[in-house]
A and B are shown apart, each in its own frame.
Chain A
Amino acid sequence: MTSIPQALLWCLSAGTAAAVVLAALLVRVRKERAGLRARLTAAEEHNSATLHSNTELSARLRATEAEIRHLAEARLPDLTLALAHPHVPVRGLLDKRFGGSGTDEALEAVLTQVGEAITKERTRVDAAAQSTLRGATTTIQALLYQVQTSLQTMQHKYDDPQIAQDLLDADFLNEQALRRVQATGVVCGAWPGLTREDSYLAELVVGATSRLRGYERVQVSNQLRDPVAVVARAVEPIAITVTELLANALHHSHRELPVSVTLQQGSRGASVIIDDYGVGMHDDEIKHAMELLAGGDSLLLTQLGDPPRSGFAAAGQLVRQYGFGVHVEPSPYGGVRAVVYIPGDPLLTVLDAGARPISVMAPMPHRAPGGPRDRAAVPSTMPTGASAPATPAAAMPAPRPAPAEPYAAPAQPAPAAAAPEPQQSHQDQAPAEGELPRRRRRRPQSEPQPESHPDTINLRSPEETGSRWAALQRGTESGRAAAHSEPPRSPEGNAQS
């Protein structure tokens, strides 16, 4: 049996121990509670922050969606439009706060990609259209040349005015068709479709006018000093270019007004200057034309408008390929002045006018009275210099005054004149009225011709003609006398006489 105190002691100590333990626990619980409270607060704060950012994010999401919708509904259509018409602006971001952000970059990337894709596709489609057209025009052009050949043969074959008229009309229509087809082909990247031989510039320009309706309004004035010709490879390109510029001039001026073409020879090349007196072009039109004429690498059919205006574009393509120059500016006469400059070095040559006579329709060079004709400039006709005291042999190209009168008078006996020579002397005799004498080159080459001309005339002068006729008459008389002396062959013969 244990004593009560002992039991009490045990109880007390147990109680104390329990109290200590409890106290310790209490302290710990309190600590935990404070910690928990702090965590709760933090959690609440965090929660509210999360909520906040959540709303922000959703707002941002909505804004981004709006931005994407803006991209689809406004910016992409703008872009497609802007690619077709460069002056259309492409709208920017809907919300400026996205500027520089990843969204902005991504959207820009979309725009760039779409833009590239559209451009690429457009070029591809255009190239397909161009190649289709090119194939068609090449074939049609070849056929039209065949038509031209047969029309030409027929023109030489049939003299009847009615038929000839129809043939000339058909020929003209054919030329117009050719011009259209050729220009379209050139715009589509085809070559001019024809290689000619070296041709006189004057001939080329006249040929170019013949391809246009209203060619009778074109007045060509030939100021070339030499028989300047264009080398074979550039003949047709320059002809096309001149044709298109002339077409422009004729189209934009009144049908009663002339279009002046001047052929001018410079020291380093030759120019074809086309002046019209029409409505003229605005500054931006001229700017656009010059852009086309500068010959950019890529040319899209879609840029040419509807109906397509292919003239300047065709000229531009040829300028790029063949290296001559075209300039368009407002004319001092109020219309448009177009200048085709043909550099002398690669593109011009001088032809032997004897071997290759110029077309009869080419305008005559404006020459001073007494100036030798270009076609006289054949080296083989160089005289010995008997009548050229003032001309040193080396100074053949040097100009010298060309008096008209002294060469018409002398009647030295000269060998029978070659065919062109009297023509030249005739030219000498024919002063274009109102023209001043000009210094001309190659005087010596036409020296013997003036003498031969009066000589030819003299050969047929009264004495000889008289003697010829006298001989004829004598012959006739003697014949008649012989006939009369013979007996009549038949009564009918008698009755007739």
Chain B
Amino acid sequence: MTPRQSSGRRLVPAYLATGGRAQPSRNTLDRLTVLISVDMPITSEVRPEEHRILELLQPGALTLAEVAAHLHLPVSVVKVLVADLVDAGRLHARVPIPEAEQFDRQILERVLDGLRSLKS
């Protein structure tokens, strides 16, 4: 991912979004976590950057990486923001759909062998 804006130096640094925190309150979030906004009125205590995440998710779900790209913020910072929003109940986070996993053939064969040996 490229840093924001090809033109010019950033005026607002990323740490300002989280007050310098980079440790999200939950470690379940991933670049591909799908974020869905909860239909909840945005109140004034929502910080501007959180407000914009919620706005961004109004039309539909986006992955965390996409949100980060839209906001021009590092993924690590967006994770913190999203974790806060999920904690506040304003956002649903859904783990990415895992890749279809094949069962380990070796183990299955060994189990089958075991079962057969039990049977006989």
Known contacts A203-B11, A427-B55, A453-B58; decide if A433 and B44 are in contact (CB<8 Å).
yes
Residue B120 is within 8 A (CB to CB) of chain A in the complex? no
Task: Pick the contact of B22: A168, A204, A362 (CB < 8 A).
Answer: A168
Task: Pick the contact of B48: A158, A207, A215, A364 (CB < 8 A).
Answer: A364
Could you tell me the dominant secondary structure of chain B's interface residues? loop
Residues of B within 8 A of A196 (CB): 8-9, 11
Task: Pick the contact of B3: A152, A364, A431, A495 (CB < 8 A).
Answer: A152
Is the Cβ of A156 less than 8 Å from the Cβ of B1? Answer: yes
Residue B23 is within 8 A (CB to CB) of chain A in the complex? yes
In angstroms, Cα B54 to Cα A141, docked, is 37
Give the number of residues in A that approach B within 8 Å (Cβ atoms): 58
Task: Pick the contact of B77: A155, A169, A194 (CB < 8 A).
Answer: A155
Residue B7 is within 8 A (CB to CB) of chain A in the complex? yes
Is the Cβ of A160 less than 8 Å from the Cβ of B12? Answer: no
1/0 contact string of B90-111 vs chain A (CB within 8 Å): 0000000000000101001100
Known contacts A360-B48, A360-B71; decide if A423 and B15 are in contact (CB<8 Å).
no
Is the Cβ of A359 less than 8 Å from the Cβ of B3? Answer: no
In angstroms, Cα B51 to Cα A361, docked, is 10
Give the number of residues in B that approach A within 8 Å (Cβ atoms): 51
In angstroms, Cα B70 to Cα A419, docked, is 11
Residue A374 is within 8 A (CB to CB) of chain B in the complex? no
* A positions within 8 Å CB-CB of B: 145, 148-149, 152-153, 155-161, 163-165, 167-169, 171-172, 175, 194, 196-197, 199, 203-204, 206-207, 209-210, 215-216, 235, 239, 359-364, 417, 419, 422-423, 426-427, 429-433, 453, 456, 460, 492, 495-496
20 residue pairs bridging A and B, Cβ less than 8 Å apart: A148-B9, A158-B76, A160-B76, A168-B14, A168-B15, A168-B21, A172-B13, A197-B8, A203-B11, A207-B11, A207-B12, A360-B49, A361-B17, A430-B41, A432-B44, A433-B43, A433-B44, A456-B60, A492-B108, A492-B112
The 8 residue pairs across chains A and B that have the minimum distance between CB atoms: A164-B76, A164-B22, A423-B55, A207-B11, A165-B22, A168-B15, A155-B74, A430-B42
Known contacts A156-B3, A167-B22, A239-B11; 12 further A-B pairs (Cβ under 8 A): A153-B3, A157-B1, A161-B79, A164-B76, A172-B15, A199-B11, A204-B11, A215-B16, A360-B53, A430-B41, A453-B58, A460-B60
